[in-house]
Structure 1
Amino acid sequence: MTGAPLPEPAASPTATDAGVPSTARPPRPRWRQTLGLLARNPTAAVAATVLLGIVLMAVFDESLAPEGPNVIAVEDRLQPPSLDHPFGTDDLGRDILSRVILGAAVSLRVGFLAVAFALVVGALIGLLAGYYGRWVDDVLMRFMDVLFAFPAVLLAIAVLAVRGPGAGNTALAIGIVYIPVFARVTRASVLGVREEVYVRASRSVGASDFRLLTRHVLPNAAPPIIVQTSISLAFAVLAEAALSFLGLGTQPPNPSWGLMLAEGRGFIDLAWWLAFFPGMAIFLTVLCFNLLGDGLRDVLDPRQRTLMAGSGR
């Protein structure tokens, strides 16, 4: 006797039928999440876009400049802004637009070099002081307090008085001024991280201090340092302009925004454009660095990050 054919087993519902993707999407890397949140902040996004344009202008300065920075045309001296010279000309007939574009490379180069030097040295000092504490903290941070006690501009002038004027020495002087700032920010951040559970767990299984510092402490202490870097870049550009204005930074005939301000102050009543356009370049760059720093602070702060992600900003 043949039995009735067995019914075919019902097909189990697939992940797609259940309305769930068949493969779980891997979480996005943190840097992509950070960029996504930063792009949702309109102020920070506009500031980052403008800064990117200024950096590209500094990189491709010679290709973008209509003329060379020191091309003299006496017959065109002190010409107001026009189609031929959108930013006008100076007392030697040099094109102000070309000098502003080429001056961006000098000002930004000095600013980036100064902040990079201060970041490396200051972060290392703050990392060691915050992690080891005790006498290491006392010795390193008291030395930082001595540097921090000097007014920033006066300390930079003192360094330049020893080393001599010039763009390289200006970057060194500004970098020395900002070492204590990075040391303090890094130390404060490390103090909050070194006693976390994951650090103590790694220490309990025999992880070396170098591994703890590089794999656990520094990456988790980095957000405040990143924000400080953006803000310090603004003040480094401003400090370079101030030192060049005083004649201690970039030397003529090389174009620099601060040097152009110094050269144009004697003609402020006769030719306003000589000081206006370099001043606006400094103002715009410093403002955008500060706005970007504010945006990074909001994005990298865990509490603000949660609120922004939850509100869909």
Structure 2
Amino acid sequence: MTVPAQKAPEAGAPASLRPARPRWRETLGLLVRNPTAAVAGLVLLAIVLVAVFDEALAPSGPNEIAVEDRLRPPSWAHPFGTDDLGRDILSRVVLGAAVSLRVGFLAVGIALVVGSVIGLLAGFYGRWVDDVLMRVMDVLFAFPAVLLAIAVLAVRGPGPGNTALAIGIVYVPIFARVTRASVLGVREEVYVRASRSVGASDWRLLTRHVLPNAAPPIIVQTSISLAFAVLAEAALSFLGLGTQPPDPSWGLMLAEGRGFIDLAWWLAFFPGMAIFVTVLCFNLLGDGLRDVLDPRQRTLMAGGGR
């Protein structure tokens, strides 16, 4: 029995061809190689898990009053201490994570969808569409962010839902500008013009070619905006326009602990640290995503990893 001889590879041909890795896996691999971004992502994942399983992780209810334990400093029984009503600060910080993150994600989701659609249409069609849409965005952008959010809440009333809407309206012009700038650089690429020349519809061009290739700056802006959305929610709650008592919120806890800062420092310290860590990690993750998604920096990182 003879075994058929295998065909020898042609000269200059690679011995084996490995399939290309999916882009998202390559991006994730480069992000993991960045220790700062990787640690920030893990911390944010832990905070999100705390917000999701808040009731299971909280030692007690957010409004369980124990007057005999009021203003107790941090101890084994109450790791973050208690407030002026004897409520456990750790439980309120854990349960406040869900409120603060829910408002932040909802606000950025509103700004992302509305702003990206506006920027996509303005950048792709140009001319009068660009002029009209971006002048409206300029009007919104001219207002100070906090004052615009306060004006929206003055009309709609306080509460987590209205706070998310107010913050979302504030960040719509930012996403519109970022998306428009990215689309302007993509719409004249060769592959877009080639698709248009063979009769591709505007919808197909926008969804299959323009938006996917314009997405990296939008993803980075989303991470950074989440940081400022959490900060804005805390600021509005601190002013009494966001989450209302007795619901726990990091900004509201800061406002409640302000009057006891000399007597019980832990009332404001721990919710303040929660805000600080969350905002810092979102910013660090955004910086890491910017490095990974930038084509030139991506090439340097991929080349350095070999």
Please give the TM-score of this superposition, normalised by the length of structure 2.
0.96
Query: Cα distance, 1:268 vs. partner?
Result: 0.2
Q: Post-superposition shift, 1:25?
A: 2.3
Residue from 44, 53, 56 that aligns with 1:63? 56
Structure 2 matches for 1:201-280, cutoff 5 A?
201-280=194-273
Rounded to whole Å, the distance in 1 between the matches of 2:93 and 2:148 is 28
Tell me how far apart the structure 1 counterparts of residues 74 and 167 of structure 2 sit (CA, whole Å): 34
Q: Deviations over 1:189-215 (max 9, x none)?
A: 000000000000000000000000000
Which residue pairs with 1:159 in the alignment? Answer: 152
Please state if 1:193 is matched with 2:186. yes
Please tell me whether residue 144 in structure 1 is matched to residue 130 in structure 2.
Answer: no
3-state SS of paired residue (2:242): coil
1:10 shift after superposition: 8.8
Q: Deviations over 1:221-249 (max 9, x none)?
A: 00000000000000000000000000000
Match 2:113 to one of 110, 114, 120: 120
Q: Secondary structure at the match of 1:82?
A: coil
Rate the CA distance shift 1:94–1:14 in 2: closer, same or farther, 3 A: farther
Residue type at the aligned position of 1:194: R
| Unmatched runs of 5 consecutive residues or more in structure 1 | 1-7
SS of 2:50's equivalent?
helix
Q: Deviations over 1:117-172 (max 9, x none)?
A: 00000000000000000000000000000000000000000000000000000000
What's the counterpart of residue 281 of structure 1? 274
Which secondary structure state, in structure 1, belongs to the residue aligned with residue 20 of structure 2? coil
Tell me the CA shift for residue 14 of structure 1: 6.6
What pairs up with 1:123-134 in 2 under 5 angstroms?
A: 123-134=116-127
**2:28 counterpart residue number:** 35
1:12 positional shift: 4.0
RMSD of aligned alpha carbons: 1.7
1:76-132 deviation per Cα after TM superposition (whole angstroms, max 9, x unaligned): 000000000000000000000000000000000000000000000000000000000
* Shift >2 Å, 4+ stretches: 8-15
* Paired amino acid for 2:182: S
Unmatched runs of 5 consecutive residues or more in structure 2: none
Aligned to 1:207, the other structure's residue is in SS state: coil
Please name the residue that 1:309 is paired with.
302
How many residue pairs get aligned? The number is: 303
Residues 14 and 158 from structure 1, CA distance in 2 versus in 1: closer, same or farther, beyond 3 angstroms? same
Q: Deviations over 1:52-94 (max 9, x none)?
A: 0000000000000000000000000000000000000000000
Q: 1:66 to 1:187 in 2, by over 3 A?
A: same
* Distance in 1 separating the partners of 2:279 and 2:150: 21
Q: Alpha-carbon deviation of 1:270?
A: 0.2
Cα distance in 1 for partners of 2:50, 2:6 equals: 60
Letter in 2 for 1:222: A
Q: Return the index of the structure with the highest Cα Rg.
A: 1
C-alpha distance 202-10 of structure 1, shift in aligned 2 (>3 A):
closer
What does residue 5 of structure 1 align with?
none
Deviation at residue 256 of structure 1 after TM alignment: 0.1
TM-score of the two chains, using structure 1 as the length reference: 0.94
Residues in 2 aligned to 1:119 and 1:10: alpha-carbon distance in whole angstroms: 61
Partner of 2:69: 76
C-alpha distance in 1, partners of 2:18/2:246? 57
Deviation at 1:11, TM superposition (A): 3.7
1:290 aligns with 2:283: yes
- Counterpart Cα distance in 1 of 2:152 and 2:146: 10
Change (3 A) 1:149 1:10: same
